[in-house]
């Protein structure tokens, strides 16, 4: 079984913000594989089903980004899984808008949601699907930037990145992380 966790902030006011790229990808995965994310367990919205013979558990933490680890940790513990079964989808300011990157492991890189996950799980060894949101202009605080909606010029590339992110997560499930990295990390 794989847990695919899309990181973001709950609430209508955050729905289309940069920090919710992970939620957007999870919604796309839900739509693609026909798994409804309507349950509520492990401090998050959940759905479960199958994709190409593999069991999937979809999770959208409701704990806000900076406490994502509480939800994801509870989920893995409740399902009796370890971090090898986890795929985390999140926004990344170090990638230009629209780029995605699949990564096997790594540190938080200043991302508080990832920091929370690492703290709760006690490991950095989990797969990530990073969705590029770009860096803010010099006069914009990064904390404010991630809570802003995408600007008009970004919307098409972000839509494409969300679709690619969903395909990348599903490729990890079916083909493995190395194959997904080879397919999706090229420019």
pLDDT at res. 65 = 93
Minimal CA–CA distance to 90: which of 109, 75, 77?
Answer: 109
Q: Residue 48, exposed/middle/buried by CB under 10 A (0-12, 13-18, 19+)?
A: middle
Inform me whether the pLDDT recorded for 143 exceeds 80: yes
Distance (Å, whole) CA 134 – CA 92: 7
Retrieve residue 17's tokens: 């913000």
Confidence of residue 187 (pLDDT cuts 50, 70, 90): low
Report yes or no: 103 and 143 within 8 Å, Cβ to Cβ: no
Minimal CA–CA distance to 113: which of 64, 41, 169?
Answer: 64
111: annotated active-site residue: no
Distance (Å, whole) CA 178 – CA 176: 6
Does the domain spanning 2-184 belong to CATH 3.40.50.1470? yes
Inform me whether the pLDDT recorded for 185 exceeds 80: yes
Distance (Å, whole) CA 56 – CA 49: 5
Q: pLDDT tens, 44-84?
A: 999 999 999 999 999 999 999 999 999 999 999 999 999 99
Distance (Å, whole) CA 89 – CA 101: 10
Confidence of residue 186 (pLDDT cuts 50, 70, 90): confident
Confidence of residue 137 (pLDDT cuts 50, 70, 90): confident
* SS3 assignment, position 13: helix
The catalytic position among 5, 6, 19, 150 is 19
User: Residue with structure tokens 């680890």?
Assistant: 69
The ranges assigned to domains in the chain are: 2-184
User: Residue with structure tokens 């990064």?
Assistant: 142
């Amino acid at each position: 079984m794989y847990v695919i966790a899309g990181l973001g902030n709950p609430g209508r006011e955050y729905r289309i913000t940069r920090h919710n790229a992970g939620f957007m990808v999870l919604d796309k995965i839900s739509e693609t594989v026909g798994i409804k994310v309507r349950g509520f367990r492990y401090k998050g919205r959940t759905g479960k089903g199958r994709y190409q013979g593999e069991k999937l558990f979809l999770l959208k933490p409701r704990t806000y980004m900076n406490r994502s680890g509480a939800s994801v940790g509870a989920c893995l513990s409740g399902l009796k899984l370890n971090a090898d079964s986890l795929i985390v989808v999140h926004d990344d300011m170090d990638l230009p808008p629209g780029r995605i990157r699949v990564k096997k492991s790594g540190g938080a890189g200043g991302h508080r949601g990832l920091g929370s996950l690492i703290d709760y799980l006690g490991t950095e060894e989990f797969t990530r699907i990073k969705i590029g949101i770009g860096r803010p202009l010099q006069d914009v605080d990064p904390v404010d930037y991630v809570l802003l909606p995408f600007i008009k010029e970004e919307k098409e590339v972000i839509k494409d990145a969300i679709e690619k992110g969903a395909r990348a997560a599903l490729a990890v499930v079916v083909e493995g992380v190395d194959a997904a990295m080879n397919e999706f990390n090229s420019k």
